[in-house]
Structure 1
């Protein structure tokens, strides 16, 4: 789960430019995440946390100028804690639950629930206490706009549309690929052996309330069987393999668009780093 962005219809720009700039290699510990080609052009969840912090610090400075109290240290602590929880649950790139539950230990203990059920774990406005109506208006209007503009002059912060479309498109297309659907059928037959009726792993666990604080034995049993069947049928190799191949093909066909996305990512992160260095 990367930035919550509105996925607009994207016209991919074909081109024959040089290869897009190389991204930093994945860290040694990706927190059990799956890595896809799109991730080289996207924001990692730790980067998203830094963007959130920079935006909050800039907005907080604006709020102070308007006469409202803001605690930057509290904002740092809240955002850091929330981001740590998010990375634990969703991985370095946000793909850890892309294919459902895959870790047998997590399935046995938490079922289909996230480990950190209150994902993010921060208040809606880190660094502030309770917001009065006037404070909320100033924060969500004037000060947030000012912060976003400082980070991105065009007023758009986060993942490029072409990158978001790549990730959502390959996932959607995988659900209709014959090799993937055949793997789903094998997984479904495996699940049926233990009494669980799911057409595919994409819908596994949807009959449980993962927002409830209670995790039932039925849920952990289903999730554990889900993981076992994924391993037995190699469905993850097929599913992830399709997406990786599909994304690589799209990137190769639209090099100019992805080079621009990577460049935009790097420019935005330099602005974020400058804000954080100035506000420390």
Structure 2
């Protein structure tokens, strides 16, 4: 049975809303200046063998799995109600999350689970919490009728309001029902779900951690450890992204390579050092953007409350 696998250097922390729901995307411009804030160094966790339970500071500003599901449910409800006002129907989608990590750190530092390494190598599979044999059902086919699409998405480019329009004499909301849904569930914020600043801090933290002196030194020890076992990579990311392991099923030598990877990480506490470096950077960024992030957290709470109300309304 083919197994889904997550092999990007920065595993996604968010599950995707079905394609029909993502026509409107709102971005919050992020800060691009170099950080000047300092933060107390994160204590280095010892004997980290599986990264799944590590919690990065920025996690406080990201939706939980339950919140993401409730948001998808609210999106579907608002779209269905809006389309119904025009005598049209929006189909129900399978809103279960696709197979994927249950935490932001589960696959962030490559393979850290010996059970995964032994069963599927670098592939996300049955040994991983969050893996499911069958994902959500495919979305219903799009209704391509021009009138339907006008009501659903408006007449502008995705994410824009377009120009005033009507359907059978009834005014269409700016951006169609997608636009109306996005405005309502944003609860006055310039984002829905995860703010761009939060994504930026997460991405920057990962990139910066790769250049941290302690991390670079840990990678060197890991590389020497791997070479002693017959596997030649400079960094854990090189092993994770080896093209030889990119097929749908694990390659013949993939499991042995992954097992050595896990062992060498554990021997030199690579994940603990790596996590501490990334967490320290994130704390500095969070301190620099305290007010913005406080507002983001408040807006997230408002969005979560609104989504719960929408879903609970008969």
Deviation at 1:34, TM superposition (A): 2.4
Structure 1, unpaired ranges of 5+: 15-29
| The one of 51, 67, 72 aligned to 1:47 | 67
| SS of aligned partner of 1:79 | coil
| SS of aligned partner of 2:253 | helix
Q: Deviations over 1:211-237 (max 9, x none)?
A: 643222312121111111111111001
| SS of aligned partner of 2:54 | coil
Residues 196 and 246 (structure 1 numbering): CA distance in 2 closer, same or farther, change over 3 Å?
A: same
Alpha-carbon distance in 2 for matches of 1:182, 1:64: 60
1:122 paired residue number = 136
| The one of 53, 61, 71 aligned to 2:81 | 61
| SS of aligned partner of 2:52 | coil
Deviation at 1:209, TM superposition (A): 6.3
Deviation at 1:186, TM superposition (A): 0.6
Q: Does structure 2 retain, via aligned residues, the 8 Å contact 1:208–1:219?
A: no
Q: Deviations over 1:158-212 (max 9, x none)?
A: 2122222211111111111111100011111111122222111122221246664
1:207 paired residue number = 242
Q: Does structure 1 retain, via aligned residues, the 8 Å contact 2:233–2:239?
A: yes
Alpha-carbon distance in 1 for matches of 2:153, 2:53: 33
| Deviation larger for 98-107 or 245-254 | 245-254
2:160 paired residue number = none
CA RMSD of aligned residues (A): 3.0
Residues 251 and 33 (structure 1 numbering): CA distance in 2 closer, same or farther, change over 3 Å?
A: same
Structure 2 counterparts to residues 110-189 of structure 1, below 5 A = 110-115=120-125, 121-122=135-136, 125=139, 129-134=140-145, 138-139=151-152, 142-152=176-186, 153-154=188-189, 156-189=191-224
Residues 225 and 139 (structure 1 numbering): CA distance in 2 closer, same or farther, change over 3 Å?
A: farther
| SS of aligned partner of 1:204 | helix
Runs of 4+ residues deviating >6 angstroms: 116-120
Structure 2, unpaired ranges of 5+: 1-11, 17-24, 36-49, 155-175
The answer to whether residue 228 in structure 2 is matched with residue 193 in structure 1 is yes
| The one of 52, 56, 69 aligned to 1:32 | 52
| Deviation larger for 246-255 or 101-110 | 246-255
Answer 1 or 2: which has greater helix percent. 1
TM-score w.r.t. length of structure 2 = 0.70
Deviation at 1:239, TM superposition (A): 0.2
1:22 paired residue number = none
| The one of 95, 108, 112 aligned to 1:79 | 95
The answer to whether residue 92 in structure 2 is matched with residue 101 in structure 1 is no
Alpha-carbon distance in 2 for matches of 1:201, 1:211: 15
Alpha-carbon distance in 2 for matches of 1:119, 1:175: 33
Q: Deviations over 1:84-124 (max 9, x none)?
A: x33xxx123x2211111111101111111122788993356
The answer to whether residue 48 in structure 2 is matched with residue 10 in structure 1 is no
Alpha-carbon distance in 2 for matches of 1:255, 1:248: 10
Residues 36 and 49 (structure 1 numbering): CA distance in 2 closer, same or farther, change over 3 Å?
A: same
Deviation at 1:35, TM superposition (A): 0.5
Alpha-carbon distance in 2 for matches of 1:172, 1:123: 35
Alpha-carbon distance in 1 for matches of 2:52, 2:116: 11
Alpha-carbon distance in 2 for matches of 1:120, 1:61: 30
Residues 66 and 31 (structure 1 numbering): CA distance in 2 closer, same or farther, change over 3 Å?
A: farther
| Deviation larger for 56-65 or 182-191 | 56-65
